[in-house]
Structure 1
Amino acid sequence: MNTQFVVGESSSSSPHLSCDVFLSFRGEDTRKTFTGHLYTQLCQVGVHTFIDDEELRKGDVISIELDKAIEQSRVSIVVLSKNYAFSSWCLDELVKILDCKQMLKQIVLPIFYDVDPSQVRKQTGSFGEALVKHKERSFGAERVEKWKAALTEAANLSGWHLRNVADGHESKFIKSIIKQVLQEVNQTPLDVAHYPIGLDSPIEDILLLMQSGCEHEVRMVGICGVGGIGKTTLAKAIYNRIFLQFGGCCCFLSDIRSKVEELGLVKLQEKLLHHILKTKDFEVDSVAEGVNLIKARLGSKKVLIVLDDVDHRSQLESLTRERSWFGSGSVIIITTRDEHLLYGLTTSEIYRAKLLNDNEAQQLFSCHAFSYFSPPQEYVELTQDIIKYSGGLPLALVTLGSHLQVRSVKEWRYEFKKLKAIPHGDIQKILKISFDGLDVNTQSVFLDIACAFHGCYEAEVIETLNACGFYSESAISTLVQRNLLQRDWPSLVMHHLVQEMGREIVRMESQDPGKRSRLFNPQEAIDVLQGHKGSENVQALVVERRALKGVKLTTKAFQKMINLRVLKIDNLYISGDVELLSKELRWLSWEGCPLKCIPSNFPVEKLVVLNMRESNIQEVGLDFQCCRSLKVLNLSDCKRLRSTPNFRGSRSLETLYLDNCSSLKKIHPSIGNLDSLITLSFSCCKKITDLPSSICQLKSLEFLDISSCSSLQTLPVDFGDMQSLRSLFA
């Protein structure tokens, strides 16, 4: 495994640095002159600088304190004066400094003060004399060779030569040094999080992604996930862990989505170049010019670039399109809500941010609510309720913890009750950003799933929404890529707060529930139905199972809802003329329906899914010639159903559930006409004695369940002719 990336002590910041600059110099030469002036100037501009005194030098080796000071400095300035090499302490410091440059990626800046770099490089003049004297003092050949190598390495570094800068004027010379030092030390760690809980494991996972492959490659890592899951926090923590290894060639472009809207791509290209090149001596006039400048100026540099909150391909195209734009060893980190934008990366270069587990969630919430890792005893139950509501989303835990801080238990209860009805504005705002970036078609599909189809079979949702005129396959794919929807095969599910965000968007459509596009709140649904307040705006009405238990309504309650596409009224008692139901219905779930017969005038012309489980139905009087779009019919657990309907004329039915129909005896021979039928299930129909021979004509049937049909003795003679059959449960 490549080990280029050095792991620091803290998951949320860079390795601890006690000072910005360590000054290495020969005291007798420059303490009271050049080095003294340089130290004063550095302190005046706010650069924390370490300058030793003679008490820290003991014996022939540098002390532990000096060792530690070198290790914990970001920059080491080595003042190479004429007598520098006569000090064994200085030479040991130089060896230590160069070791830290190699191991800890520190910056070393040599100053050639009244000496020529060639004298240092070749150890001639006073440097050669000093090394001869050290040999005579019996320092040992190995130690002297280390000093010689260190002097050669230092002389080959990019530094300052007093004679070549500012015509030898020390004050101007010091100003130029200060300017570069400020550029280096201003590369500071980023503020990550007040309580960096749950970061350690994902940081290690991402570092492993970055360490795969050759260390000289340009590596790209994408961090994706739903809004508020902590992508930016992770990117900052990773940046802090490794930024010192890039010699100041680092840039963290935060909140790109909003910055592009505010400033445009050209300004972001300028910012990237200014940060890494440490100069503002040029302007970018166009995106095309910016691309060429990035390629030309950064192509030989090892850079660390973080693009935070990318939401459009053009942002990547104009800033980091090709790995070849950057020098070997460069690292590009991209955070986005839209995984599709990372299609140029390999699977091993994408990290999908995870929700916090229960223990991490409790710690994060409690830290913000109580400044402790666990809640006081009287708050334990409420804390668990809020953690469950938050679903492990860091944004929600931090926001709600801060919101509830220093409030009483009584206030907590009031606030949580309100929260369940109206999502917190700060959480809603962050999550809604993803929704706002969708096209109208995908927004409609999202709202339908959030309000009506959460947890439903994907295949049925697709069929239904396609019948509504939506391009649902494309929309669902987009929602999954943008982490607004997950596939939990065979169903579609949403994070609780994402679902709440969608429902809040609908709630804000109107103060009058009857004028909203979708109804899902049980109490609001009761008010609308009982008061006949529905309007043509209502497209979906979903009532939780048994929420309206005991409530009796007539079909007149639906008369004004002429655009109703989705209706879920399980266990609701409704009487009256079913013709008053919307002719636009595509999905109807009426489990526990009190009707004894599904009448022939039932509005089924556009219906795709009809779910009548556990109903009182004895007879299905539908004219299947009118059921032109019906693909799914569920009559399971209809205990009084004695025979299947006459399926003559049906052309679209693909799924038929008749499980646990304990009175079912007769299967109408017309079942063999269902040319599109793929799934047929009769499990636990204990009174079925035989299957009609026409069932063998089902040329599309793939799944057949006749398990626990205890009275079934034989199968039709031509049963083996069903060539599409893949699964038989018997």
Structure 2
Amino acid sequence: MNSTLLVLALAFCFAVDASRSPSALVNFVATIVLAVIAVEVTVSAVARLRTKPGLVSSTPVPPSSSSFSSSSLSSSLSISTSSTANYANYEVFLSFRGPDTRKGFADYLYIRLIDVGIHAFRDNEEIPLGEEIKDALLESIKQSKIAIPIVSKNYASSRSCLRELAQMLECKKANNQLIVPIFYDISPTELKCQRGFIEQCFCEHEKQGVDRTDIAKWKWALRKIAGKKGYDLLTRNNGYQGALAEEVVGYIKEVLKKNDLYVPDGLVDIEQPIQEVMIKLGVVYANKKATGVDGECVRVLGICGMPGVGKTTVAKIVYNKIHHLFQRCSFLPDITTTFESSGVKGLLEKLISDLRMKNYGGLSTHDQSIEVMKKSFREMKVLIFLDDVQDFDHIRHLVGKISWFGPGSRILLTIRRKDVLCEYRGVADTYEVEPMRSCHALQLFCKHAFCKYPPEEEKNEYYHLSVDIINSFEGLPLSIRETASYLNNCGWDIEIWRETSDFSRKKLERKVKLAFEASYNSLDEYTRKIFLDIACFYNGMDWRIPTCKWQANGYHPLRSIKILIDMCLIKIGENNKFWMHNQLSKYGKEIVGKHSRLYNHKDALSTLKGNEMRKPFVSRLMRDEVNVLDLDHLAIYQV
């Protein structure tokens, strides 16, 4: 900056010299301005270089006339071992001998890793200009989760490759880094013996003045890597490089859990339904691990249950546990919503992209996409998970026929209706997720409601309130989690807990209502009326009693009852009695309010005695055995 001030001062002195001509003055000032800009740019560049993240200045050493050169500047800069910002978050580091594989196998493997969303590093990318290449490579190895050395015949001729390999083994020892060696055109046995060409390479290193300690370390590293389980191209996949690369990518995805779906924490009593689903899928499952798939047939399983019971959670856990058993897998969420909002095209493109493991969007019509589905995966063992399927049309347009997929494939669905799988009769099965038992419901509630122990003086009351709340939910996980999370946010306010206990007996949480609403809105008009009648009057009654009334009103009750059973909204229990979950019953009663159905005898008496009887209503007293005046079964329908 002092030189800048000096230049400006000289310019000012010249400017005040009246003897100068105007043109000379303009030319001189322009020259001075350019000089000032050049000085400022140079100073700024040096400042940025000195303060760049990941670089530190070494202690300055007075240079001698014989030793000072341009290399002195680069040697005065080194990568800070304490700074990892520039090299963090690498998932895979690829090490290879450039002339052997850079434009062939290594390039294809790198591209495939990037295609499937893996953050991979190779030595011709990611290194900022001006940094010391070797040190930057070593830092990248340290910050990677997995190291893949592609060992070729000339690998040992490269000192940088050997240095990288030694660094990988140090990281393995220090941080348990995973090393996945690929033996490209040389066998592990040759690396262990280190005869012939490999021996010549080390002799050449020694002639070039490489320290013998380093050479011994590199020899040890080659022998060590030869003893590790890896991929030998000479003996695997008949030497096909593309097939080997796909196999490596699939393994890396499994290790990094790239295919895993999000599952919430704090689950309770989940193992039993998982085991039962595994049996229906024909998966060998023991000690909470899936180890194989039985048989060559293609199986389809639909997981059903009432809204909010945890169908998708169970299916996701199963998917996470078994996807490693398949060559390719795909998860398509919210099928019904997506299908209605944007059609099938986007879903098909995602399904094909997942199964091909690369982006797909080249075909413009649905028919062309279906042809790709029919022909591309017949020999491939795949796992497909379709979430929230309501209609068989959704299935037909995506995975229409099981013959589209290879032996041992599995299609897993969460379904709103059991009968959507009717066209897969013979190969499809269903599994119904049931509400939780009381003891497990209490465990789930406590996990989400209590971040710490309650105050000692009020512990008993909190416990009793917790029991009251979960009893009102009859084991529905969605209701339990929503209420428990709300109370967790409120802290230890006993009045809010008491109020919430009362609220839970009478009302539903918003998310629970939304879940029920999606199923209710999909019903036809007559089935909705029958659902509301059961919710208000007939829960626990022999189903044959109201059927005659519904038939007289033209409601087609047998058809509607089957729909409600298929959607898991009701069951026919012992003694032919209707059973509806109390949360669904509350939902039905909230819909009708006090306008179309009077299900409470107090409200019914009040209505009968009040002026409302003068309104244009048609009242009907529903029989309960012999007592025709039992107001617990009074129904008043608005005309």
Matched, 1:498 2:588: no
1:422 deviates by: 2.9
The AA in structure 2 aligned to 1:473 is L
1:561 aligned residue:
617
Show the 5 A alignment for 1:627-706: none
The one of 313, 329, 335 equivalent to 1:233 is 313
CA contact (8 A) 2:183 2:230 kept: no
Show the 5 A alignment for 1:378-393: 378-393=461-476
SS of 1:156 mapped into structure 2: helix
SS of 2:331 mapped into structure 1: strand
1:185 deviates by: 5.7
Whole-angstrom distance in 2 between the partners of 1:312 and 1:231: 17
1:476 aligned residue:
561
2:629 aligned residue:
590
2:450 aligned residue:
370
The AA in structure 2 aligned to 1:270 is E
The AA in structure 1 aligned to 2:261 is L
The AA in structure 1 aligned to 2:461 is E
1:428 deviates by: 1.0
CA contact (8 A) 2:532 2:589 kept: yes
2:486 aligned residue:
403
Whole-angstrom distance in 1 between the partners of 2:435 and 2:532: 23
Matched, 1:361 2:441: yes
Whole-angstrom distance in 2 between the partners of 1:417 and 1:369: 17
CA contact (8 A) 1:235 1:335 kept: yes
The one of 516, 524, 529 equivalent to 2:603 is 524
* CA 1:74–1:152: 2 relative to 1, 3 Å: farther
2:325 aligned residue:
245
CA contact (8 A) 2:302 2:428 kept: no
The count of aligned residue pairs is: 458
The AA in structure 1 aligned to 2:299 is R
SS of 2:367 mapped into structure 1: helix
1:340 deviates by: 0.9
1:308 aligned residue:
387
Whole-angstrom distance in 1 between the partners of 2:194 and 2:405: 39
* CA 1:377–1:146: 2 relative to 1, 3 Å: closer
1:324 aligned residue:
403
* CA 1:535–1:219: 2 relative to 1, 3 Å: farther
SS of 1:79 mapped into structure 2: strand
2:300 aligned residue:
220
1:413 aligned residue:
498
Q: TM-score, normalised by structure 1?
A: 0.54
- Between Structure 1 and Structure 2, which shows a larger proportion of helix residues? 2
The AA in structure 2 aligned to 1:413 is R
The AA in structure 2 aligned to 1:459 is R
1:268 deviates by: 1.1
The AA in structure 1 aligned to 2:269 is G
1:566 deviates by: 5.0
1:279 deviates by: 2.9
Whole-angstrom distance in 2 between the partners of 1:471 and 1:395: 32
Q: Which has the higher contact order (CA 8 A, sep 6+)?
A: 2
CA contact (8 A) 1:339 1:482 kept: yes
CA contact (8 A) 1:82 1:127 kept: no
Output one character per residue of 1:493-539: Cα deviation in whole Å (capped at 9) or x when no partner: 101111111111112xxxxx3xx211113443343223132477xxx
Whole-angstrom distance in 1 between the partners of 2:180 and 2:197: 23
**Root-mean-square deviation (Å):** 4.9
Output one character per residue of 1:576-620: Cα deviation in whole Å (capped at 9) or x when no partner: xxxxxxxxxxx9743599xxxxxxxxxxxxxxx99xxxxxxxxxx
Whole-angstrom distance in 1 between the partners of 2:304 and 2:589: 24
* CA 1:307–1:229: 2 relative to 1, 3 Å: same
1:184 deviates by: 9.7
2:219 aligned residue:
none
Whole-angstrom distance in 2 between the partners of 1:444 and 1:478: 13
CA contact (8 A) 1:110 1:154 kept: no
1:275 deviates by: 2.1
The AA in structure 2 aligned to 1:479 is L
CA contact (8 A) 1:404 1:412 kept: yes
2:137 aligned residue:
none
* CA 1:108–1:246: 2 relative to 1, 3 Å: farther
1:430 aligned residue:
515
1:210 deviates by: 1.8
Output one character per residue of 1:191-239: Cα deviation in whole Å (capped at 9) or x when no partner: 1112122211111211122226843222222111111110110111111
Show the 5 A alignment for 1:65-464: 77-82=148-153, 110=182, 112=184, 117=185, 150=232, 152-154=234-236, 156=238, 158-159=240-241, 187-211=258-282, 214-247=294-327, 249-343=328-422, 344-346=424-426, 349-371=429-451, 376-405=459-488, 406-407=490-491, 408-464=493-549
Whole-angstrom distance in 1 between the partners of 2:600 and 2:179: 62
CA contact (8 A) 1:302 1:330 kept: yes
1:157 deviates by: 5.8
* CA 1:589–1:274: 2 relative to 1, 3 Å: farther
Instruction: Give the unaligned 5+ runs of structure 1.
Output: 1-17, 52-68, 94-105, 134-143, 166-176, 508-512, 537-559, 571-586, 594-608, 611-730
Q: TM-score, normalised by structure 2?
A: 0.61
* CA 1:47–1:111: 2 relative to 1, 3 Å: farther
Show the 5 A alignment for 1:502-581: 502-507=588-593, 513=594, 516-534=595-613, 560-562=616-618, 564-567=619-622
Output one character per residue of 1:39-94: Cα deviation in whole Å (capped at 9) or x when no partner: 9xx99x9748999xxxxxxxxxxxxxxxxx9xxx99773512116799xxx9xx9x
CA contact (8 A) 1:75 1:185 kept: no
Output one character per residue of 1:408-460: Cα deviation in whole Å (capped at 9) or x when no partner: 22112222323333322211110121111111111111111111111111122
* CA 1:313–1:76: 2 relative to 1, 3 Å: farther
Deviates more, 1:276-285 or 1:252-261: 276-285
Whole-angstrom distance in 2 between the partners of 1:465 and 1:107: 70
Whole-angstrom distance in 2 between the partners of 1:146 and 1:417: 63
Whole-angstrom distance in 2 between the partners of 1:428 and 1:49: 48
The AA in structure 2 aligned to 1:192 is V
Matched, 1:466 2:585: no
Whole-angstrom distance in 1 between the partners of 2:316 and 2:231: 38
The AA in structure 2 aligned to 1:235 is A
Instruction: Give the unaligned 5+ runs of structure 2.
Output: 1-88, 124-140, 166-177, 201-225, 284-292, 635-639
The AA in structure 1 aligned to 2:234 is T
SS of 2:622 mapped into structure 1: strand
Whole-angstrom distance in 2 between the partners of 1:130 and 1:377: 79
Whole-angstrom distance in 2 between the partners of 1:371 and 1:472: 48
